[in-house]
Amino acid sequence: MTEVDSSLGVNREFTAMGVVPLPRLRPRRLRCTPAIRRLVAETRVDPADLVLPLFVKEGAAAPREVASMPGVVQHTLESLRRTVEQAVAAELGGVILFGVPLHRDALGSSADSPDGIVATALRRLRSDVGDDFVLISDLCLDEFTDHGHCGLLDRRGRVDNDQTLHRYASIAVSQAEAGAHLVAPSGMMDGQVAVIRQALDVAGHHDVAIMAYAAKYESALYGPFRDAGECRLEGGDRASYQQDPANGREALREVAFDVAEGADIILVKPAMSYLDVVRRVADTVPVPVGAYQVSGEYAMVEAAAARGWIARERVIDELVLSARRAGADIVVTYWALEVAQRLRGQAGLR
């Protein structure tokens, strides 16, 4: 067998025969200039890969910045429309809408109200963008219940999976009728995709797709979101229905169930700490996969950048790229608009 000197990248048998050895292998040749690096880049980010989360607050007179998420605001209906106009101009893939209601109760009644903040916002946005831009609506109850859980509670204070499904079905139809192109169930109830798909089909919304939070972990990185959505728990935690951060195979089971029930897109949340899960899911499912860069990821970067500890734009770009490299077709990120505008600016310079 021919012996190879891996340190030099040459064949020792050839050297013994007096043959001039091949030059040393130098992978760095393909890193010498920005143009060469761009030519051979294995992973790329396009504005259409990005989805921007947006919060709209019922009754708000002016946009209000979320203290734990600098640069992110609770929108008024009008500021929401202006931001979506910017998202359309930047050619983002879409936006995902979260409502912040004035009224909360045990049933989350305002979640499916035709006069609620989500339905009102969706109708206005759909009137603005038609089918030329993708409107996604988060489908959950935590922003709308007075206890902050993602589902209805039974007499013992536990989340009642099956009773919650009835509410999800009603919310899905309400959001579809208001103009959502996709609904995104994020409550991690067993059977939620099947129930929602059936409800949408019975109501005639066959073309409304489901982006399922199929692998949503019980993470400590959601804290700033709960400031933005005003949905902090009054007691307990979500560990009985969100996934254990220790488990990876479990995510594949959850994903398989959701795909079998009719999920059109699978979402993994959070992104940064779960890129291994993104990779495994992307290698497994036949549908597009998204990764959600959550509020805690955003807040950590912004806090470190504000202190001059990191190069902000480079870190943001690296995090978005890493999600794409791990296999995400879609990246849901609070930096979506900024990254898309930067990408368009760079394209204009070339």
Q: Which residues are catalytic?
A: 216, 269
Sign of the CA dihedral with 8 first, then 13, 18, and 19 last:
negative
Give which of 111, 102, 229, 234 is closest to 167, Cα–Cα: 111
CA dist., res. 266 & res. 259, Å (int):
8
Give Cα 87 distance to the centre of its chain: 16
Give which of 198, 182, 340, 202 is closest to 266, Cα–Cα: 182
Three-state secondary structure of 193-219: HHHHHHHHHHCCCCCCEEEEEEEEECC
Q: Are 155 and 128 in contact (CB under 8 A)?
A: no
Q: Are 268 and 258 in contact (CB under 8 A)?
A: no
The pair of structure tokens assigned to 44 is 């790329």
CA distances from 57 to 4, 52, 142, 206 (A): 66, 16, 15, 29
Give the contacts of 171 (CB within 8 A, at least 6 positions apart): 111, 112, 139, 141, 183
- What does the DSSP assignment read for 259-276? HHHT-SEEEEESSGGGHH
Q: Give me the torsion for CA of 340, 345, 346, 350, rounded to 10°.
A: 140
Q: Are 182 and 134 in contact (CB under 8 A)?
A: yes
